[in-house]
Amino acid sequence: MKLIEAVIVILFAVVLLQDVLHLLGRRALLYPFYIVLGLLLGPVITADAAEFLGKLGEFGFIFLLFLIGLEIELPDWREAGRALLLGIGWVLAHTVLLIPIGLHLGLSLENTLICLTALTACSVGMAHSSWEHFPHQSTHTKQRMLLWMVALEVLAVLQFAAAEPLLENGLGWNSTLRLLLTVLTMVGVCWLAPKFARSLQIVIEITERWRLHFIVLLVLAAAAFGERLGLSAPKTAFFLGLFISRATHESLALEKYLQPIGQNLLIPVFFIVLGLQVPLSSLWSVSGLWALGTCVAMLLWRFLLYRAVFHRAIGDNSPGVFHLVGPNLSLVALAVHLLHKSDLAGPAVNWPILTGLLFTTASILLLPRPRPA
C-alpha cells in the first residue's frame, strides 16, 4: 500500500471509528483501535509510507504530551501529598508481579522499571468520562479517586523524566541535574502560572476567529524554543500544557479547539505508527501470550489489592471502581518512545505495547458506559 492509499485508509478509519465509538459511548477506546489499525496496516504498507507516517507521528507525540499536560490539574500540596503516597504504594504493590515478567522476557532492570511505571499509570484523559459517570458512594470519595488518578499520571511523567537522562548518560551528575531541573520546572509552573493567568486568558479570548492556528503555533513554537534550550520538544509541550491548565482552567476548551488537527489527525497517526512497529504475528507469539497473561494477572491482582488495602484509603468500595485507574495506553506510548531511544526493539517492546493495549481495552469495557455527549 502506497502513501496516498494509506492516508486515505487512515482518514476514513479515523472518521468511522470516532463516529461509531461516540454512538456506543466508548470514545476512550479510540487509542486502542488506532493501534489495532496500525497492526493491520503493517503487513501491507510500503517502507516509504511507514517512514513518512513516522515523521508525521512525531508531531502527534508533541500534541499528545501537550494534552497530557492539559489534563493534569494539580491540587493543593496537602491533598497532592496524600494522593502521591497512595500512588507510590500502588506502583510498589505491582513490582512483585511485573518486574519478574519483564526480566524473564529479557528486559534490563531499567527498561523493566519503565514498563512498570507505564503499566501502573493512569491516562486521566481516557478515564475521565467514565469517572464522571461512575456511581461513586459519595462526592468526597469521587474526588479522592480523581486525585489518585492524577497522582498516578504525574508519577509516571516524573519517572519518565528521570529515566530519559539515565538511559542516555547513565547515573551521574548530568542525569541528576536534568531530573532536578524537571522537578523545579514543575514547581515553578505551579508558582508562576497564577501570576500570568489573566494575560494568557486575554490572549486566548481575543483569538476567537483564528484560535486553532494560534494554539497550534503556540505549541510548536514552545516545542522549538525548548529544543533550542536543550530540552526535548515533547517535554516542553507537556510543561506548556501544564502551565495553561494551571493558569487558565481552559483545558476542555483548548482540547476542543485542537481536535481538528490534534485528536483527529496527528495523535491518531502517532498511535497508528506505534501499531506499525509491532508485527501482526506477535499477537500469537510468545510476547503476545505473555501480554495476555500479564493482563489477566493484573486484573486479578488489582481486584485483590483494592479489596484488601486500597479501598480504605479511597473510602469507596463500589464494585469495579479500581478499573478507573486501569486505562494507561497514552503513558505506555510514552514508555515505548523511551525504549526505542535506548535501541530496544522486537519482542521486548511488543510486550508492553500489547499489554497496554489489552489492559486498557479490558479496563474500559469493565467500567460503566458513559452517556454520549
At which residue does the C-alpha cell 534490563 appear?
108
pLDDT at 343: 64
Q: Which amino acid is at 50?
A: A
Residues 6 or more apart in contact with residue 348 via CB below 8 angstroms = 105, 106, 107, 111, 287, 339
Q: List, as one string, the DSSP characters of 279-293.
A: -GGGGGSHHHHHHHH
Q: How far apart are CA 81 and CA 90, in angstroms?
A: 14
pLDDT at 272: 93
List, in sequence order, every beta strand (DSSP E) within 39-177: none
Where along the chain do its domains lie? 3-168+265-366
Q: Residues 84-133: pLDDT tens digits?
A: 899 999 999 999 999 999 999 888 888 899 999 999 999 888 888 888 88
pLDDT at 221: 86
Residues 6 or more apart in contact with residue 291 via CB below 8 angstroms = 350, 351, 354, 355, 357, 358
pLDDT at 201: 66
Mean pLDDT score of the chain: 83
Q: How far apart are CA 250 and CA 253, in angstroms?
A: 5
pLDDT at 209: 67
pLDDT at 148: 92
pLDDT at 91: 94
pLDDT at 21: 87
- Taking the chain (373 residues) in runs of 10, the rounded mean pLDDT of each run is 90 90 85 93 91 91 85 67 89 95 89 92 86 82 88 86 68 65 65 62 68 81 77 77 67 70 88 89 87 96 92 85 92 86 70 94 86 53
Q: How far apart are CA 266 and CA 260, in angstroms?
A: 9
pLDDT at 355: 95
